Chains A and B, each alone.
Chain A
């Protein structure tokens, strides 16, 4: 499957600061989450992909078009939903979305017809004729999604799409994104809300310091660990912990009747059982731990912080 978006050794410098530091990406069609702390280079990457910011070196393509030379073609096939309100004063919801369609190159008739379709889709019914600046936060987010969809893009870039929304609005927005993915539109979603990303994305890319720290399928990231286990037990905690340490097993967390332990190697669960036997402890349960996206994210950021060179800094 051809990637919708790819970069090779992409570097973007602002003076001495490297906002993007050799980004290598190949994102296949689907819904992909782009994660990273503030200043990780996510916004710069989007700016580069839209052809707004010239790259310092490297290559990049979006939907098969070169980011340096074919900006208008990229922009006409990509929908962008910015994080900020960016609602033009004086325009109604309909006027705003239709304007976005006209900017994308649609005729007025096509743009207006399509405007009503996408406003129906994002569930802005009668509100569409009200000035957009009077909308609630959730309605504004849905209006921004509508303007990104009006020209029926092949790729959607969503920057914090659930920002400022209440739980119900968030649920609606996430269901819209899932539906868009099913309709064949590729989505690159930037968000700080990891549960949202876990819910809607097939894959995730984690950035930090202008680099891609890790990427992969969310299902792979949430695969059960073969060295991390949770142990439910009954007996003397001190003795049990002592015996476990003697076997080279690390103890990460300890709560009432449960220990989170890490084996030095995989498939050595019998060491836990033998430690319990030696300590006179009864094992009630032994299960492998599943890592969350948050754990993966934090681990990637920690690795980057520990290993980064001083000159590699985000913007």
Chain B
């Protein structure tokens, strides 16, 4: 159509009062759609359904074990479980009484495994969240609309958190629901709700830490490859350093800050305390050293909490300051970076 025959038509619709929520929802929906369409993201999201199936099968097998308890058929299963956990389960008279503890331990272990899935998934979806916008100078589009730095940052965090939740909290809660249905669940509603709350809290912690650290890294450079390298370094290097320390220093001396270097290890310690595995184990009558051998770490939760909390806080502050700077320089695009 030629320009001469095509005139601009004013929009007859009503202009709504500008709201933060509208811009926020646009950032979240579009961000999720863009990241979902990235290569390898969909296969990585399979970690969610795999976790659901894995947990449900485990819970079902445990319920079978309860049914067979005391029968000769169960001996083989007991021996297998003893070998797997490294704990002599013969001290447990009725495994059915330990269902609550076992379920908590199962979910705590699953969350530890899911941390690796989160690390890989965040390395895939996270680097471009802000750095792509800075690279193409798209921030001038955001901040020319009624979008403020807080809603921009919150929107980007929700995008990251949605993906993290899809391989942690959502499958875990789904597995808890299905597991309760196929096995009869825990005795009473209270323990199930407590377990669900613990799963949600653990997931929220992972979402806060991973999301904000990734956004902070993503806001520092416009090249997402550097962000990926930075993220993997943040995740893996402290664990390697912790490993070296463990090799060279007697384990009884690795306490406090010295034992809280590995971020993955810190997450594991906090999960263990959140799910209250220690008291559950004590209630079972199983030997305490077996607990230390199977699950525990001698680190008090204060130090890991401080390390992870401080990093999250610093990352959030840093990221917010960068976004504010970008928003002020958005029109004067030459000032970016």
Question: Residues on A close to B: CB < 8 A?
Answer: 43-44, 46-47, 50, 52-54, 71-73, 75-78, 80, 82-91, 95, 99-100, 102-107, 110, 114, 117, 120-121, 123, 147, 149, 151-152, 157, 159, 172, 175-176, 179-180, 182-185, 315
Contacts and interface: CB of A to CB of B under 8 A. Distances in A.
A101 to B, nearest CB: 9
Contacts, number: 161
B132 A88 contact: yes
A102 B144 CA distance: 13
Contacts of B144: 50, 52, 75, 78, 80, 82, 157
Contacts of B15: 76-77, 105, 151-152
Contact of A105 (B140, B146, B332): B146
A84 B134 CA distance: 11
A121 B6 contact: yes
B145 A52 contact: no
9 contacts: A47-B330, A50-B143, A82-B331, A86-B140, A89-B132, A95-B30, A103-B26, A176-B8, A179-B7
Contact of A180 (B8, B25, B133, B146): B8
A180 B328 CA distance: 28
Contacts of B34: 88-91
A117 B128 CA distance: 31
Interface residues of B, number: 48
Contacts of B137: 82, 84-86
A120 B1 contact: yes
Contacts of A80: 140-141, 144, 331
Interface string B142-182: 11111110000000000000000000000000000000000
A114 B13 contact: yes
B3 A88 contact: no
B230 interface: no
B249 interface: no
A84 B6 contact: no
Given A47-B328, A80-B331, A120-B1, A105 B19 contact: yes
Given A75-B146, A88-B136, A121-B9, 6 more contacts: A44-B332, A78-B144, A82-B141, A91-B30, A102-B25, A117-B9
Interface in B1-23: 1, 3, 6-11, 13, 15-19, 22-23
B6 A104 contact: no
A82 to B, nearest CB: 4
B22 A105 contact: yes
A99 B145 CA distance: 11
B198 interface: no
A110 B13 contact: yes
A185 B332 CA distance: 24
A50 B26 contact: no
B22 A102 contact: yes
Interface string B102-136: 00000000000000000000000000100011001
Point out which of A72, A89, A105 has the most chain B C-beta atoms below 10 A from its C-beta.
Answer: A105
